Structure 1
Amino acid sequence: MNKILYCCVISLLGSAFAKAQSPQYSKIDSTMLRSIYNYNLTESDSYEWLDYLSNNIGGRLSGSIQAERAVDYTENEIKKFADRTELQSVMVPKWSRGTPEFAYIQLNDLSTINVNICALGGSIPTRQEGLKAPVIEVKSLEELSSLGREQIEGKIVFYNRPMDPKKIQTFEAYGGCVDQRYSGAEEAGKYGAVAVIVRSMNLRLDDYPHTGFMSYGDLPVENFIPAAAISTNDAEKLSAYLALDKELKFYLKQDCTVWGDVESFNVIGEIKGTRYPDEYIIVGGHLDSWDLGDGSHDDGAGVVQSMQVLKTLKELNYKPQRTIMVVLFMNEENGLKGAREYAKQAELKNEKHIFALESDAGGFSPRGFSFDTTTKQMKVIESWKPLFKPYLIHFFELGGSGADVGPLKGANTVLAGLRPDSQRYFDFHHAANDTFDAVNKRELELGAATMTSLVYLFDKYGIEN
């Protein structure tokens, strides 16, 4: 083989290898993304859908009548643009808050200071007359264990480890202290505590207690104790008073009820693929929310953004190669039953999911995505970044996706999570101020457009095997 022919062969092989490793792009992709953003910023329905979910239905706690109404509403809306809809049955836990909680600090002179608390999801109630006991403050489950039964029995354990403000990624700060909320009652119950009070998962100081899921683990039922969150302002106050008076008492009353499991539904809608109809791309959020606010950021925003992905593609007359589905999962907040049921049914049907995207981090300005995938596929994804640069989307990171798409993890499935700016998210997370007025219309629409753009690219180019 002469030198010129050899060089030509090598050049052709190199070109073929490059094509195999990375999709080829053209102005068509940039034009499509521009159309997606233009449509969402001028004709999107996402804000109106969220308005209805938040203000006409309200907080959608798993097993509640509001959750049932949300299922009906979103299914009817999705029917207007999807080729097919389905309600996927799933049994979910039911817990209700009951009458508003009440609590105060009682000092040695018998004066009292009212504080803001809320029961944690899954907690048992106090006695009807409430309970009053001395308080012991700890910063961690490890510190609790080191104290032992002698110092804990008969007392209310006050977990007061704040979210770390030095963490730029606020979800890391949340992950660094949420164990006290989830496992605090289980661990304190082992040592004879009568209740637990947990500092709210919130980076700012305010008067809103933040609820969230807790578990008693393997604790015997007779050792279950009431669990409540206290606002960050009142956590600071309680800690300061304890520093002055170790003998003060804390009173709390809550009227929550743990019921049996009830039937609910995942809401599914699809646009059928034209070339690979048996390859699935899903986009979704969780339809349930906590009951203190109306769940606009967590996760009404993700629900309507996911619905908007399908409607945008439909309205732009895009014919997907693969079947694109919106899945609104039930029971993410206190059990993840909807996500597990969806993954179970997908496995039983031997469905091939190539990509699953979740929005569950609030309706703030989108910054990009995190991906749970291979380094090989990540290189392809990173090559798409220039397409997103005009929209100020720059965060493409390997690691992490979303709780509801997590059960779909497999060797040939790329999982992803939308990553909005998170600095204010925990101001609202699981609290009474998570309401419609806290969501900015334009930021919500930008998130929906960003999700649609990524779904379009995965549909067009598939994944690297």
Structure 2
Amino acid sequence: MRILKPIILALALLLFFNVSSQTDEKVLKEIYKQSLTNGKSYEWLNYLSNQIGGRLSGSLNAEKAVAYTKEELDKLGLDKVWLQPVMVPKWVRGFKEYAFIESKKGKTSTTAVNICALGGSVATPALGLKAHVVEVQNFEELKTLGKENIEGKIVFYNRPMQPDLINTFEAYGGCVNQRYKGAVEAAKYGALGVIVRSMNLRLDDFPHTGSMTYGDMPVSKRIPSAAISTNDADLLSTMLKLDKSIKFYFKQNCKQLKDVLSYNVIGQITGSEFPDEYMIVGGHLDSWDLGDGSHDDGAGVVQSMDVLRLLKECGIKPKRSIRVVLFMNEENGLRGGRKYAEEAKQKGENHVFALESDAGGFTPRGFSFDCNDASFDQVLSWKPLFKPYLIHYFEKGGSGADVGPLKTKTNVLAGLRPDSQRYFDHHHASNDTFDAVNKRELELGAATMTALVYLFDKYGVNPIASENKIKE
């Protein structure tokens, strides 16, 4: 009888998990069905992109986006919807930038090129800036060239994204420092301005903006910084090889104004069993101003909103309190994410799980997780549930910039990982528009996020580790 008891217990557990798994399969099937046949994410994105447009922090469009998304969340019949005040920077681009390459072989001629000011940059002088150009690949080359070869010139950073890296975010990370810190480093050697190759794997005519910093540099020492399209970066590089005497002219009219009041938009379904354990899903509501921010990050915003709607549509009553958080100011300050984490800490809120979508609205491939090994093992046990939907990528890694400040030793942070091959074609550029988003891919992403939220709510975060902790 003593021998039979463990066998019976094992069979009972096996039966329980099989029944549970079948139930989970049915729930996930219903989630995907609802998203693909009755989704709201594409409709919401259409309005956000085409009726509001680019949503730079501190802008009128950002205010409109706050009002619109709060109104739509109110319609869902959530337990609570509110605005969380946050002060954000206000940088304005001004009139469209203009640039050309000037050559004097035989007679003076100019070739217009495509540029855009980097976010946070100062303007050029009123009449623009024209100077000789020095091309570099990295900050080490700046140091080697020294002040005698850089002073009074425009530094041209031309390090491309590494094309043989399958993970395009890794390729982006490998060269983005020249955009972010390029002006600071060039100014040390007396440069007058900076031109940076766009963070883009494709050769095209779209300059890609993005944030940059001056650190603690005095305003009087700051130099203008702009991005140049990949096609024009190649052109400039070729012309420099043929003629070192060419000059580059650019004019931009941007300005940094005083901080203004904005808001994170938050909606909540209160948990039925553990209301003081919080799970959040979110994206950032702000975007750059060149396009309408459909992929970055309108897609993440509407997918996150639809997670809560899909839970309600499928009749799922969460055990834990689930929030959607639409963060303001991810692009040029992360003020929204930091504010949310700061207030959560002040209130002693226990955030056990956070999921962010900020990698575009392309076909979902899976998730990356910032968590301990026990929690990750739990995630891997769910992998068969996602297999029918071709979701196969479950790896440890980063989560998202806005949820990052919520990290603790025990919670789980996750990031949705769509197919990334086309993302940087649109990232921070004027072609980040609604027409570049596929409805079905967007809805698959919303369903995939909902499925993960459902599973973490049902089974908790690392229940085995929690039980061991209780026993100790």
Same structural fold, with TM-score higher than 0.5 when normalized by the shorter chain: yes
Identity over the aligned pairs, expressed in percent?
67
Gap change, CA 1:133 and 1:12, over 3 Å in 2: farther
CA–CA separation in structure 1 for the residues paired with 2:71 and 2:220: 45
CA–CA separation in structure 2 for the residues paired with 1:360 and 1:167: 20
Q: Confirm or deny: 8 A CA contact 1:190 1:219 kept in the other structure.
A: no
CA–CA separation in structure 2 for the residues paired with 1:397 and 1:358: 15
Matching residue of 1:194: 192
TM-fit CA distance, 1:221: 2.1
The partner residue of 2:359 within 358, 361, 364 is 361
Matching residue of 1:456: 454
**SS of corresponding position for 1:62:** coil
The partner residue of 1:429 within 423, 427, 441 is 427
CA–CA separation in structure 1 for the residues paired with 2:376 and 2:255: 46
TM-fit CA distance, 1:220: 2.5
* TM-score, L = length of structure 1: 0.96
TM-fit CA distance, 1:27: 1.2
Q: Confirm or deny: 8 A CA contact 1:373 1:398 kept in the other structure.
A: yes
Matching residue of 2:102: 106
Q: Aligned letter for 2:220?
A: E
Matching residue of 2:470: none
1:10-409 matches, within 5 Å, as 25-81=20-76, 82-108=78-104, 109-409=107-407
TM-fit CA distance, 1:50: 0.2
Alpha-carbon displacement from aligned partner over 1:278-334 (angstroms, at most 9, x marks no partner): 101100000000000000000000000000000111122211100010000000000
1:402-421 matches, within 5 Å, as 402-421=400-419
Unmatched tracts of structure 2, length 5 or more:
467-472
Gap change, CA 1:182 and 1:17, over 3 Å in 2: farther
Matching residue of 1:438: 436
CA–CA separation in structure 1 for the residues paired with 2:205 and 2:230: 7
Alpha-carbon displacement from aligned partner over 1:66-103 (angstroms, at most 9, x marks no partner): 00000000000001112111100001101000000000
Q: Confirm or deny: 8 A CA contact 1:135 1:250 kept in the other structure.
A: yes
CA–CA separation in structure 2 for the residues paired with 1:208 and 1:436: 16
Gap change, CA 1:19 and 1:323, over 3 Å in 2: farther
CA–CA separation in structure 2 for the residues paired with 1:110 and 1:19: 82
CA–CA separation in structure 2 for the residues paired with 1:221 and 1:96: 17
Alpha-carbon displacement from aligned partner over 1:264-289 (angstroms, at most 9, x marks no partner): 00000001110101101100000000
Q: Aligned letter for 1:125?
A: A
Gap change, CA 1:15 and 1:193, over 3 Å in 2: farther
Alpha-carbon displacement from aligned partner over 1:164-187 (angstroms, at most 9, x marks no partner): 001000000000000000000011
CA–CA separation in structure 1 for the residues paired with 2:19 and 2:208: 47
Gap change, CA 1:98 and 1:31, over 3 Å in 2: same
**SS of corresponding position for 2:75:** coil
Gap change, CA 1:15 and 1:260, over 3 Å in 2: farther
**SS of corresponding position for 1:69:** helix
TM-fit CA distance, 1:149: 0.8
CA–CA separation in structure 2 for the residues paired with 1:318 and 1:9: 35
**SS of corresponding position for 1:104:** strand
CA–CA separation in structure 1 for the residues paired with 2:326 and 2:83: 10
Gap change, CA 1:15 and 1:264, over 3 Å in 2: farther
Q: Aligned letter for 1:186?
A: V
Q: Aligned letter for 2:374?
A: K
CA–CA separation in structure 1 for the residues paired with 2:67 and 2:398: 31
Q: Confirm or deny: 8 A CA contact 2:372 2:410 kept in the other structure.
A: no
Q: Aligned letter for 1:328?
A: L
Alpha-carbon displacement from aligned partner over 1:242-282 (angstroms, at most 9, x marks no partner): 00111110000000010111110000000111010110110
CA–CA separation in structure 2 for the residues paired with 1:233 and 1:24: 57
Q: Aligned letter for 1:37?
A: Y
Q: Aligned letter for 1:122?
A: G
Q: Aligned letter for 1:42?
A: T
Q: Confirm or deny: 8 A CA contact 2:56 2:62 kept in the other structure.
A: yes
Deviates more, 1:170-179 or 1:185-194: 185-194
**SS of corresponding position for 1:446:** helix
**SS of corresponding position for 2:195:** strand
Alpha-carbon displacement from aligned partner over 1:178-197 (angstroms, at most 9, x marks no partner): 00000000111111100000
CA–CA separation in structure 1 for the residues paired with 2:437 and 2:143: 41
* TM-score, L = length of structure 2: 0.95
TM-fit CA distance, 1:26: 2.6
TM-fit CA distance, 1:222: 2.0
**SS of corresponding position for 1:191:** coil
Gap change, CA 1:60 and 1:23, over 3 Å in 2: farther
CA–CA separation in structure 2 for the residues paired with 1:284 and 1:290: 18
TM-fit CA distance, 1:25: 3.1
TM-fit CA distance, 1:146: 1.7
Q: Aligned letter for 2:35?
A: N
**SS of corresponding position for 1:67:** helix
TM-fit CA distance, 1:143: 1.1
Q: Aligned letter for 1:84?
A: K
Gap change, CA 1:432 and 1:23, over 3 Å in 2: farther
**SS of corresponding position for 1:177:** coil
Q: Aligned letter for 2:194?
A: V
Deviates more, 1:326-335 or 1:11-20: 11-20
